[in-house]
């Protein structure tokens, strides 16, 4: 692994993800003292369907999950940019079949940006979940029917961005080979 589009990491998208992480953290810290003794822990299609005692772990679970997700997505993005694209391989060069290489450096950069967009989508989705989890008003089991779709929509958009970038890269690769 080397070469590729190395050095062109989409720092702006990582910064956006870090802003989301900081926002979730501050929001959680501000909301924590006023939360009830039991907080929503899981939402299904009908609203909140599981509850947990209020602890730092139960309240900040979305923040911890997002911090880990952002770290993994940033590492994946770095690796995407470090892999040599197929356009830079010598004819007949032996490569591992375990690596799904981008077709071109431009394709690697597009995939990297899409991966970081997905990371931001996960953060935005978790923010949607936090609206239910960190509500200081008593909640019923039948929360707003919009909570789950608003939580999943940004993640779906990020997923479509990654799929679109991968399909565009593969179609570009077929034209250049």
pLDDT per position as a tens digit, 62-112: 999 999 999 999 999 999 898 888 888 888 887 777 777 888 899 999 999
Where are the chain's structural domains? Answer: 11-176
Helix (H, G, I), strand (E, B) or coil at 39: strand
Q: What is the pLDDT of residue 142?
A: 38
- What residues pair up with 51 in beta bridges, in sequence order? 40
Q: CA angle, 101 as apex, 99 and 102 as ends, to 5°?
A: 155
pLDDT digits (tens, 9 = 90+) for 22-59: 999 999 999 999 999 988 887 776 667 788 899 999 99
**More confident site: 5 or 102:** 102
């Amino acid at each position: 692994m080397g070469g590729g589009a190395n050095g062109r990491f989409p720092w702006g998208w990582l910064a956006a993800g870090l802003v989301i992480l900081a926002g979730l953290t501050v929001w959680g810290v501000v909301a924590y003292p006023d939360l009830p003794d039991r907080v929503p822990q899981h939402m299904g299609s009908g609203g909140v369907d599981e509850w947990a005692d209020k602890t730092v772990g139960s309240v900040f679970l979305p923040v911890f999950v997002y911090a880990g997700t952002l770290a993994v997505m940033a590492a994946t993005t770095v690796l995407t940019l470090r892999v040599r694209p197929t356009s830079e391989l010598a004819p007949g060069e032996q490569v591992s079949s375990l690596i799904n290489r981008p077709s071109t450096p431009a394709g690697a950069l597009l995939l990297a940006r899409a991966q970081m967009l997905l990371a931001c989508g996960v953060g935005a989705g978790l923010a949607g979940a936090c609206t239910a989890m960190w509500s200081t008003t008593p909640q019923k089991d039948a929360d707003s029917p919009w909570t789950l779709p608003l939580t999943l929509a940004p993640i779906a958009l990020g997923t479509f961005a990654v799929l679109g970038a991968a399909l565009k890269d593969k179609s570009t690769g077929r034209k250049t080979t």
